[in-house]
Structure 1
Amino acid sequence: MKIAPLIEALNTRPDVEHLLVHTGQHYDRRMSQAFFDDLGMPRPDMDLGVGSGSHAEQTASVMVEFEKVLLCERPDWVVVVGDVNSTMACTITAKKLGVKVAHVEAGLRSRDMSMPEEINRLVTDRLSDLLLTPDRLSSGNLLQEGVPVEKIRFVGNIMIDTLEAHRDRAALLDVAEVVRRNLLLPGTVVPDLSKGFALLTMHRPSNVDQVEVLEPILAFLTGEVAPVIPLIWPIHPRTGKMLESFGLWDKAAWCPGLVLTHPLGYHEMLRLNMQAVVALTDSGGLQEECCVLGTPCLTLRWNTERPVTLKEHGGAGVLVGNSVERIRHEFHAALGTERAPQRPEFWDGRAAMRCVTAIFEV
């Protein structure tokens, strides 16, 4: 979702050769190949096929395979995006070979060192030659850390480039049909969604890896949300695995009003977000989309690296962590909240072009 607009912007530069390297860190077809298809992206020039593993295994595997790419291709720049293990691994590998690195989505900070993504962000930003920030709060974070101002470029949110480019196509989809064709359990009764529904995504270890956390959240969802409003829950593979291991799967699967689906494609998920009465999520990207779409968002985290999406900064989100009491309070408040789309500065659909311009100005 972040690479697609960047490729489109690079294609306007006939003087530049660019190669797309897919590390294969996200290997589930519904969560990887489907996005290439949805966004009309070309097949990667190289697929490193790293797959799953521990953080150390993934990072090491990416470094080993990406080093081969760099030694063969000898690029002038490596452009990395986001905060996954591949982002950090490719950055370290490039810098050790003397290749310049540009980081798209630089400067995001949660201040939570228990999050692997925070470590990836800190290392990547420390090593990068060009830091392309999505908002002014992120630029400020870098300045406070002592990053020279000449290395920072405020370009806006590249995720919103993708949203704006695909909003009209997503709007053509029928919500009920999206849900029906992605049902995780065939035969599930799909409730009437025309009068509104809630949308849930949840995959972070802090929410799903401990039964004492996941079970109370599930009890709230099945006992207090689904009886009030239909709840659509695209199940992340990690979450499904943990539900089964804790003996909670049947409680989720057979709850009236709770509809489990496979992971959705980009357009499908965007369509649901465009119509949802409220979203509950621990996903960073969904927080950003809710901000622009105006969907009231309950962020299932105690902190966020995207504070610009929160109400106190003009956004649509509120931090609720995994406290059922806080989730309950904010859920009922959100049910009576009107949509209020917000557009932070430079979240205008042209961030990718500013990224490319910045790279060639260095």
Structure 2
Amino acid sequence: MSSELVVHITGARPNFPKAAPVIRALEARGVSQELVHTGQHYDEAMAKVFFRQLGLPEPDVDLGVGSGSHARQTAAIMTGLEELFLDRDPALVVVYGDVNSTVGAAMVAAKLGIALAHVEAGLRSFDRTMPEEINRVVTDQLADLLFTTSPDALVHLGHEGVPADRVHFVGNPMIDTLLANLDRFDGDQVRGALGLGAEYVVATLHRPGNVDDPADAAELVKAVHAVADQVEIALPLHPRGRARLEAAGLFTHERLRVIDPLGYVEFLGLVRGARAVVTDSGGVQEETTILGVPCLTLRPNTERPVTITHGTNRLVTRPELAAAAAEVLAAGRATTWSVPPLWDGRAGERIADVITAFVGVAVSPWEARG
């Protein structure tokens, strides 16, 4: 290795709370590092506010790739990162999650012979219609260090032939960020600003399977309105699918508050005070698991089954949603609940320990493979 530089690649809103504790822990260990933001999510609410609220340093590089089809966006990410990696010659590239920035960076690093670490490795929905599933599988096959958040991920990687010595069960760095900011999550303040009553549900909906097809969008709106018949709903709406949901009549229910995306602290404050959450997001399943908020996930599968076995999550279909919400609202919030192993606020430190040892090795992992 010609340097000990570690380059972190972030691109989308879910990446930032995962990267923050890793960057902080590596800084404490004196590791040279740079933060690259691809600009996959680029506006104030979807990206910039996270850097401020999570104490992330300003990105050393912002590629500004913006939106586009999967192919165009990934191609722009790869083109920009190839030039950057050739210039920086890092010892290790660290990618997070399962977005296009993740797999784009992984492919560039692999083709340039640069070692790769994947934070949140081994998650599987076994649904190849999800672009994120493709990104996960490809990235894990290319990675030299695979950091897993749950025991089931270890099993999946083993079945896929990933050597055990590359895999490290470290816990969930996104939960590090949540626990570090817990005292800042003021649900009453956010609720008051939005004019919500004391009893409300939070919804987040953006997955292609729910919003891309007009028929699916119409069924989704009907299901959400049936929940709004029972309780007020606050819905911070992702730009993706907004026009289609609006055309399907989403905005017409008087007890449904559709708002712009919120900052990290504001959103989790809202979630913390909610009676329940309706979502199709992966990260929200994990956050509600720690906060003890009942979570109804509008998907046929999840790559995070640990949030069901050790948390508050439940998979529901659109036709089942109203009845499931009624059941959750009647039951109320639990006073105790189980949480997954190693979701204790120290995952970033464990990841930093492995990376620090790795970049101190004088031989390239590609040479070591023979």
Partners of 1:164 and 1:116 lie apart in 2 by 30
Q: CA deviation at 1:220?
A: 2.8
Corresponding letter in the other structure for 2:295: C
Q: CA deviation at 1:341?
A: 3.6
Partners of 2:297 and 2:245 lie apart in 1 by 20
Q: CA deviation at 1:5?
A: 1.0
Residue 3 (structure 1) aligned with residue 19 (structure 2): yes
Partners of 1:137 and 1:356 lie apart in 2 by 22
Instruction: Please point out which of 239, 242, 253 is paired with 2:241.
Output: 239
Q: CA deviation at 1:125?
A: 0.1
Instruction: Please point out which of 316, 331, 351 is paired with 1:320.
Output: 316
Is the contact between residue 95 and residue 118 of structure 2 (CA under 8 Å) also seen in structure 1? yes
Is the contact between residue 227 and residue 256 of structure 1 (CA under 8 Å) also seen in structure 2? no
Corresponding letter in the other structure for 2:241: T
1:309 corresponds to which residue?
A: 307
Partners of 2:285 and 2:193 lie apart in 1 by 21
Is the contact between residue 76 and residue 100 of structure 1 (CA under 8 Å) also seen in structure 2? yes
Alignment of 1:1-362 (within 5 A): 1-14=17-30, 16-171=31-186, 174-179=189-194, 190-191=195-196, 193-194=197-198, 196-222=199-225, 224-244=226-246, 247-248=247-248, 251-310=249-308, 313-321=309-317, 323-324=318-319, 326-337=320-331, 338-339=333-334, 340-362=336-358
Equivalenced residues, count = 340
Is the contact between residue 173 and residue 268 of structure 1 (CA under 8 Å) also seen in structure 2? no
Is the contact between residue 293 and residue 341 of structure 1 (CA under 8 Å) also seen in structure 2? no
Corresponding letter in the other structure for 1:219: K
Q: CA deviation at 1:172?
A: 7.3
User: SS at the partner of 2:33?
Assistant: coil
Corresponding letter in the other structure for 2:328: A
Partners of 1:239 and 1:136 lie apart in 2 by 34
Corresponding letter in the other structure for 2:168: R
Q: CA deviation at 1:111?
A: 0.2
Is the contact between residue 122 and residue 157 of structure 2 (CA under 8 Å) also seen in structure 1? yes
Q: Structure 1: which 5+ runs fail to align?
A: 180-189
Corresponding letter in the other structure for 1:109: R
Is the contact between residue 116 and residue 145 of structure 2 (CA under 8 Å) also seen in structure 1? yes
What TM-score does the superposition give when structure 2 sets the normalisation length?
0.89
Corresponding letter in the other structure for 1:201: T
Partners of 1:235 and 1:316 lie apart in 2 by 23
User: SS at the partner of 1:103?
Assistant: strand
Is the contact between residue 21 and residue 47 of structure 1 (CA under 8 Å) also seen in structure 2? yes
Structure 1 residues 360 and 88, CA gap change in structure 2 (3 angstroms): same
State the Cα deviation string for residues 304-329 of structure 1 (Å, max 9, x = none).
1000001xx132111113x32x2123
User: SS at the partner of 2:80?
Assistant: helix
State the Cα deviation string for residues 233-280 of structure 1 (Å, max 9, x = none).
111111312124xx33xx332421111111010001111111110100
Corresponding letter in the other structure for 2:228: A
Corresponding letter in the other structure for 1:343: V
Partners of 2:233 and 2:337 lie apart in 1 by 22
Identity of counterpart residues, as a percentage?
46
Partners of 1:127 and 1:3 lie apart in 2 by 20
User: SS at the partner of 1:315?
Assistant: coil
What TM-score does the superposition give when structure 1 sets the normalisation length?
0.91
Partners of 1:279 and 1:127 lie apart in 2 by 35
Is the contact between residue 187 and residue 270 of structure 2 (CA under 8 Å) also seen in structure 1? no
Q: CA deviation at 1:95?
A: 1.2
Is the contact between residue 187 and residue 271 of structure 2 (CA under 8 Å) also seen in structure 1? no
Q: Structure 2: which 5+ runs fail to align?
A: 1-16, 359-370
Q: CA deviation at 1:29?
A: 2.1
